[in-house]
Structures are given as structure tokens and as C-alpha cells.
Copies of this chain bind each other. A is one copy, B any other.
Amino acid sequence: MPTVTNARLLYVAHPTANEFPKAGVHFKYVEEKIDLDKVAIPDSVLVKILVLGSDPFIRLRMRDPSVPWTFGPLAIGHPVDNFAIGIVVRSEKSEFKPGDYVYGFLTFENYAIFPGPPELQHSLKFLKKFDKHPDILASIYVGVLGMPGETAYAAWRAYVNEKAKTSKTIFINSAAGGVGSFVLQYARYTNPHLKTIVSAGSQDKLDMLKDFGADVVFNYKTTDTAKVLAEHGPIDIAWDHVGGAVLDAALANMNFFGLIIRAGTANGYNQEETGVKNIKVMMEKALRKQGILIGISDDMIEGAKGFTEEVTKLYLEGKIKTRETMYYGIKEASKALIDTQHGHILGKPVIIVADK
């Protein structure tokens, strides 16, 4: 293994609270050299990156380190890191050997050293081996079979499934992302009696969601969400990726004892969240609202059990489908991250770094 070029996407500045991240300003693409044989990896693993995930929540990590959160901040001057798939090149850890497929929090570069320098020791930094199924692309393991799928699966089983049995209607807003499109399909699979109402912001997303089995689809940019919900509601379960006015529309059309899952904040990641005025119906309709984060609460850890086995099977059977938008190489990684914040992507954005 010779000395090779290691492309890296560095995180170089925090966007302000109400600013979308920009290439060249907040991210910097660099190329360095790495000697794969000689680079020091004390008690570490050298991983060749195959696929990097790009997820909306990364925006919450683009913050001043003084702001606490479960997921540590991106570290200035270091590569971006996120859920990724790789293959072990060298290992000084007994649990990994060359050729192992690994999944974990890895850096945006061709070759990542895990666990890396102290600045990258995030609370959820982890690396685990997995048996890649020969018929499943590596990219699927950062989407349906990775964090987004696992988040949706764990939350559904922890908080939603019991309620779904006695419910008639579920509304999923901005349903075309990795989490929402999983929820739609898993809801249909586990509770086929549920009427599924989903929104998205473009016709190709609506077509995809229709193909994934949604009963009612509508474009939230051209149609009034409250009007659609009033027609097709009341809503027993709302799965909210947005907040703001969309949450107000959902609140106004919730049924008594309804359940709201708060799974994202498209309305508030890059700008101040619009005020929500209908919160008072939480009491008036005895609603429950649950915020979800993968892997850190007992409920979600319990809910995730059995995920890989069940969802691998469903995926291979075609009962859970996915669409991906591919970005190629570290050079396109900042575009993937930024497009993800703007929501201009059909399906799950993935950054393909190497084939094998």
C-alpha cells in the first residue's frame, strides 16, 4: 500500500444560529498525503471510507462547543464526521481486522483513523463491525439500515405502535427523507388499517411517496396543510419533522388523545423556529408529544432491538423501499451536506467515496 492522496472535508467555521452553512465558508476541501503502511494508529483502526451519510441533524452539531448536546459539536479545523460505512485497512484493536466492514461515526476523508484525535471523541463516537449482505449496497447501511431507519424503527416501536393499533390516521410531514419514508412504509406494514397522509415539497417526492404506499399525498408549498388535514383528519398520530406553522396546522386537526412525535426541525435548523400558537390544545385534547433521539434513552435502545434482522428482511423482500441521491467523492461532500439542509434532495443523500 503506497502513499496515496487523502481528500478531506474540514469544518472551518460555525454558521450563526440563523444561517445556512456554505461551501468555502464553513467547510474547506483539502488534499493531503497519507502513507497507509506507516501512518501511526496507536490503539486505533485505519478505515477506508466507502459511504458517508448526510443527515439534517448534522446542523445541530455545527455550533459553538459551549452549547451542550448529546451529539458533540463538529470540531473546527478537523474533518466533518458522521455516520459512515468503511472497510478496515489496518487495525491495532483486537476486535477489528483488515477487510471487516464497519459502521460508525467516522470522518469525511478517504482514510479515517478511529477514534482519532481528542477533538473527535464525541459522546456517541462508536465503531462496530457488521456482516454486509452481498445483495445490499453499502450505502443502504447509512440509510434504511443505518441511523435514519433505526431512529424511525426504534421510535415507532417505543412510542407509536400501541397507539397505532387503535388509530385511524397518521400524518407525516416532509415525509420524503430517510426517517419519514421509513415511517410511512413501516406504518403501512405493521398497521395496514392506518390512513397515511404525507406531505413533501416537490412532485418527484410525492411520486416516490405514492410509490411507497401513501394514501394521501400533497405538496405543502402549493397546498394548505391545515385544509388537507381538516378534510382527511382528525389526525391520531402526527410525525413531525418540521415544527412551526406545519405543527400548528397539525395541532388544530389532532384528535383527542393524539400522539405527536417530534423527529426533526426543518423549520428551525437554519433559522429561528416560527412560533407555535396552538400548543394549548395539548391540554384541551389531552395530547402527548414525544421528542426522539436515537440510542441514548432506555426507550429508544429497547425499541431498536431486532432492527437489523427485521429490516434487512423487509428490505430484501421489497416491503421497505428506498431512494437515494448519490454524491461522489469527498469533493462533493459539502454540497451533499448543504443540499440536505435546504431539502433539495430526492430520497436519502449519500456520499459514495469508494466502491470497495
Interface, chain A (partner B; CB < 8 A): 60, 69-70, 243, 247, 256-257, 262-265, 267-268, 272-293, 296-297, 300
* In the complex, chain B residues whose CB is within 8 Å of the CB of A288: 288-291
Could you write out 22 A-B pairs with CB less than 8 Å apart? A69-B284, A243-B280, A247-B279, A256-B296, A263-B283, A264-B283, A265-B280, A265-B284, A272-B277, A273-B279, A273-B280, A275-B276, A276-B277, A276-B279, A279-B279, A282-B289, A283-B291, A284-B291, A285-B291, A285-B293, A286-B296, A288-B290
Is the Cβ of B279 less than 8 Å from the Cβ of A287? no
Do the beta carbons of A286 and B291 come within 8 Å of each other?
Answer: yes
What residues of chain B lie closer than 8 Å to A263, measured between beta carbons?
Answer: 283
A70 touching B247, Cβ below 8 Å: no
Residue pair B243, A70 in contact (C-beta under 8 Å): no
Q: Bound complex: CA of A262 vs CA of B276, how far in Å?
A: 15
A68 vs chain B, min Cβ distance (A): 9
Q: Which of B274, B275, B291 contacts A282 (CB 8 A)?
A: B291
Task: Point out the residues of chain B lying under 8 angstroms from A286, CB to CB.
Answer: 290-293, 296-297, 300
With contacts A256-B70, A275-B275, A275-B277 known, is A262 near B283, CB below 8 A? yes
Closest B-chain residue to A298, C-beta based?
B257
B-side contacts of A265, CB under 8 Å: 280, 283-284
Candidates B262, B283, B290; contact of A279 at CB < 8 Å: B262
Min CB distance A335 to B, Å, is: 25
**Which residue of chain B is the closest to A269 with respect to CB atoms?**
B280
Question: Of the candidates B247, B256, B276, B297, which one forms a contact with A257 in the assembled complex, judged by CB atoms under 8 Å apart?
Answer: B297
Chain B residues within 8 Å of A280, by CB: 243, 262, 265, 267-268, 273
A240 to chain B, nearest CB (A): 8
Tell me the minimal C-beta distance from A348 to chain B in angstroms.
19
For A282, the chain B residues whose CB sits under 8 A away are 262, 289-291
Which residues of B have CB within 8 Å of A70?
Answer: 256
What is the minimal beta-carbon distance from A243 to any residue of chain B, in angstroms? 6
The 6 closest A-B pairs by CB, nearest first: A275-B275, A282-B291, A265-B280, A289-B289, A262-B282, A283-B291
Which has the most chain B C-beta neighbours within 10 Å: A274, A275, A282? A282
Smallest CB separation, A57 vs chain B (Å): 9
Task: List, in ascending order, chain B residues with CB within 8 A of A257's CB.
Answer: 297
Nearest CB of chain B from residue A178's CB, rounded to whole Å: 15
Distance in Å from the Cβ of A162 to the closest Cβ of chain B? Answer: 12
Instruction: Determine which of B264, B279, B289 lies in contact with A243 in the assembled complex, contact meaning CB atoms within 8 Å.
Output: B279
Minimum distance in angstroms from A35 CB to a CB of chain B = 41
Chain B min CB distance to A279 (Å) = 5
| A282 to B: closest C-beta gap in Å | 4
Complex Cα spacing A257 to B295, Å: 12
User: Is the Cβ of A292 less than 8 Å from the Cβ of B284?
Assistant: no
Whether the pair B277, A287 counts as a contact (CB closer than 8 A) is: no
Q: Decide if A277 touches B273 in the complex (CB within 8 Å).
A: yes
